Every structure is written in structure tokens, then in C-alpha cells.
Amino acid sequence: MAQSFPVPRTCPFAPPDDYGRLREEAPLVRTRLPGGDVWLVTRHAEAQQVLTDPRVSTDPMTPGHPMAAFSERPPTEEELRVRTRFQAGQFIDMDPPEHGVYRRMLIPEFTVRRIREMRPGIQETVDLLIDEMLKQGSSADLVEAFGLAVPSLVICRLLGVPYADHDFFQSRTRQLIGAGPGGSEDSFGAVTEIWDYLDGLIAEAERKPGDDLVGRLVTARRETGELSHDALVGMTFLLLVAGHETTANMIPLGVHTLLRDPAQLAALRADPDGWPAAVEELLRYHSIVDWVAFDRVATEDMEIGGQAVRAGEGMFVLGASANRDPRVFDRPDEFDIRRGARNHVAFGYGVHQCLGQNLARAELEIAYRTLFERIPGLRVVGEDDELPFKYDSVIFGLRALPVAW
């Protein structure tokens, strides 16, 4: 019998219940979706193979791509037309060599050195937000006051998006991410609204480029004809959504996890040099993106983990399962800030590994460290079963986290 999918999470500290069983059953397990069968990749080694093999495509227009299997019918001509427009510049959905062209344009903006230069600005942002929380009293919703605000301010500053508009793209992004794998009319509307907003932003930058990432791309790329207007809009869309939503979910989720483990939190307070390793463990432990960014399709017949996969067969890599694989991680279900395992796949693997991972690490490290240093009495208000975890969302997190001090 085929495994049902997606499998919902039921615990804030664990992947879906079935993942352990599936991982032990086989490295690839068949699942049935409305539009056809798809492979689930359950183990770490096979996940890395799928994410690096040149015979595997990430392009959603490739026949057999697994996201299409969520629908019982093929897209209409109008849907294809709109989808084609919105694919411009979305290099996460492109295969080499086209993918590399776009990625190379952005690499200088996300190097270790560039992020090191951004750290004082990130620190200033975090401090200002904590100042505001303390000024408001002795309690807050950490999601609204801090988790959403930190990456919003950082990505707005990086891209040149006016922070006054952050409420707009935050609400539309939540609408988009919360729609589920099959999408919805609301999610389509959210994409259109964000796209139209950025269309105007890019048009203004083309008239008068600023000293920000968008301005630099316009100056260096548009004037040479390397990027179309729509491609610039698509690249900015991708950076805005991806650079905001994942970090916004990880900040409160990580705070909640550490507050529930006072011994490990005390160790970090005593030795702040341990924060980078703690961030890696939080990323591995929660794997909040899981499968949604790891949708692939075989373009040739191949073998993965001893399983024959035919050309045109779709695959979802289960990141949350791969990151709990006991073949790679000792005691994988335990949260251990000293694990030091950077071989997790929370940021993906291979040529499509998250371009902004250095920025995300810096934001998380500075946010966690500063919050616990400045508010030593921070505590969660309420029990786990009372907290609104996003069990129904394609990106896991919290809708709210009431805290006090």
C-alpha cells in the first residue's frame, strides 16, 4: 500500500511520526498523490545523491515533476501562461547551466566576508527590537515582536525594500506559505500582489538605482542586457520570500526549544562561543522546510539506494527524515548543542544549496545570543499543547509565542 503524503507533524520536537518507520523500511518509498505516484527519499545518503545528480531536474515544467502530482488535472493554458511569467528569475527552479548564471550574479552579496560586514547592522536591528519589547512592558508575542521583525528589517535593508511596506509582504508571504502544497486561489492572489509590488520597485530602481542589492543588480546587469525586467522581479521575489519566511519561523522555534532545555541554555550563556554549533543543531533538529524545497524529477533512468527510478518519475527528498538518519547522526532524536554536525541538509545540498545560508546563520546566532543575554528571565507563557504550532503549514513554526520576563 502506498504511503499517504504529506505526513503532518504532531510534535514540535520531532518530524512526522511515520518518518522513522519509512526510513527503516527503505531509502525510497512510493507515495500516491491525486495526480500520480511519487518517490519519497528518506535517508541522508540518498538525499545527497538526489540533490547532486545531474540526471535529476528541479524545473517544475519538466514532465513528471512531483509538485504537479498534487493536482488531479493538468494546468490550463491560462495557468501555464501566468506560471511561465512568474518563473522568470526564479533560479531555484532552474537547472544548470541556466541556474548557475543567476546564482553567480548573487554570490558576491552572500559571501562570508559580505555577511561579516553586515553583522553590525544585524546586531543594531536586534538590539533596537529588544529595546522596543522592553519598553512595552514585561511580556510580548515573540513571533510578532521579534521573530518576524528581525529578518524583515534585514532583508528590506539588503534589497532596498522600504520597511514601511513590510506588513504587506509579511501578510502575503504567510498567505502563500500557509496555502499548502496544492496552492489555492488565495495563494495565487498573494503571488500576484507581491509580484506587482516588486514590479513597481524594480521599475523605480531602473530609473534611479540605489546602493542596495537591487540597485547593484540593475546597474551591473540590466544595463548590459544580462537580465530582463521580469527576471529581476523574479530574483527579488525569491530573495524576499525565502530570506524572510524561514528565518522568521526558526527564531521563535529555537527560543522555545532552548527555554525548554535550561541546562543547554545555561551552557550557552556560560560559553557564547557555542552559539554557532547550537544554531546548526537547531537547524538539523527542526528541519522546518522538510520536503517543500526538495522537489525533483529524474530525467534519465537511474538507481538510487538500490531502487530503480525511471525518467519522468518525481521525488520528494524528506529533509526532516534525512536529518534524523541514525546512519549519519548519533542519537539523532536528541537535541545536543555540542553535536557540531554541519552535514545536515536543512539548507539543501549541491548546486541548489541555499544561497542565503550565511546570512541566515548570522541572523539566528545574533538573535538568540542577544535575546538571552539581554532578557535573562525570559520564559514561555503556557504549555506546549496550548501553543499554536504550524502543523498544517508547509514550513513549520509557531503562529505566536507568548513570553514574559
pLDDT, tens only, 52-84: 999 999 999 899 999 988 887 777 777 677 677
Q: Is residue 251 part of a domain?
A: yes
In this structure, what DSSP letter does residue 15 have?
Answer: S
Q: Looking up cell 524583515, which residue turns up? A: 152
* Higher-confidence position of 240 and 303: 303
Position 2 in a domain: no
* pLDDT reported for residue 245: 82
292 within some domain = yes
Contacts of 271 (CB under 8 A, 6+ apart): none
Q: How far, CA to CA in Å, does 6 sit from each of 98, 316, 368? A: 30, 10, 31
Cell triple for residue 303?
Answer: 538507481
pLDDT of residue 1: 47
Say yes or no to pLDDT of 325 above 80.
Answer: yes
How far CA 180 is from CA of 6, 117, 186, 245, in Å, comes to 10, 37, 11, 15
The CATH number of the domain holding residue 252 is 1.10.630.10
- The pLDDT value recorded for residue 181 is 57
Q: Which amino acid is at 326?
A: P
Q: What is the structure's pLDDT at 225? A: 78
The percentage of residues in the chain with a pLDDT greater than 70, rounded to a whole number, is: 95
Q: What is the mean pLDDT of residues 149-173?
A: 84
6 lies in some domain: no
Is residue 2 very low, low, confident or very high in pLDDT (cuts 50, 70, 90)? Answer: low
- Contact status, residue 108 vs residue 120, Cβ threshold 8 Å: no
**Residue 55: its pLDDT value, please?**
98
Percent of the chain with pLDDT over 90: 70
Section 171-181 average pLDDT: 64
Q: For 14-29, what is each residue's pLDDT tens digit?
A: 999 899 999 999 999 9
Range of the domain at 396: 18-404
Is the sign of the CA dihedral 380, 382, 385, 388 positive or negative?
negative
Residue 89: the pLDDT is 87
Q: Is residue 262 part of a domain?
A: yes
Q: Is 130 within the bounds of a domain? A: yes
Task: Report pLDDT for 178.
Answer: 55
Split into its structural domains, the chain has a count of 1
Query: How does pLDDT run across 360-394, given as a tens digit for each residue?
Result: 999 999 999 999 999 999 999 999 999 999 998 88
The full 3-state SS of 180-223, as one line of letters, equals CCCCCHHHHHHHHHHHHHHHHHHHHHHHCCCCCHHHHHHHHCHH
* Residue 185 CB-density burial (10 A; 0-12 exposed, 13-18 middle, 19+ buried): exposed
pLDDT of residue 27: 98
Residue 99 covered by a domain: yes
In 3-state terms, what secondary structure has residue 297?
strand
Residue 267 in contact with residue 199, Cβ under 8 Å? no
Identify the CA nearest to 60 among candidates 28, 30, 95, 32: 95
Q: Which three cell numbers stand for residue 161?
A: 525594500
Q: Is residue 8 part of a domain?
A: no
C-alpha cell at 78: 491560462
Residue 345 scores a pLDDT above 60? yes
> What rounded mean pLDDT belongs to the chain?
91
Q: How do residues 241-291 score in pLDDT, each as one tens digit?
A: 887 889 999 999 999 999 999 999 999 999 999 999 999 999 999 999 999
d(CA 301, CA 314): 12
335 versus 241: which is more confidently predicted? 335
Ramachandran angles phi, psi of 3, nearest 5°: -70, 135
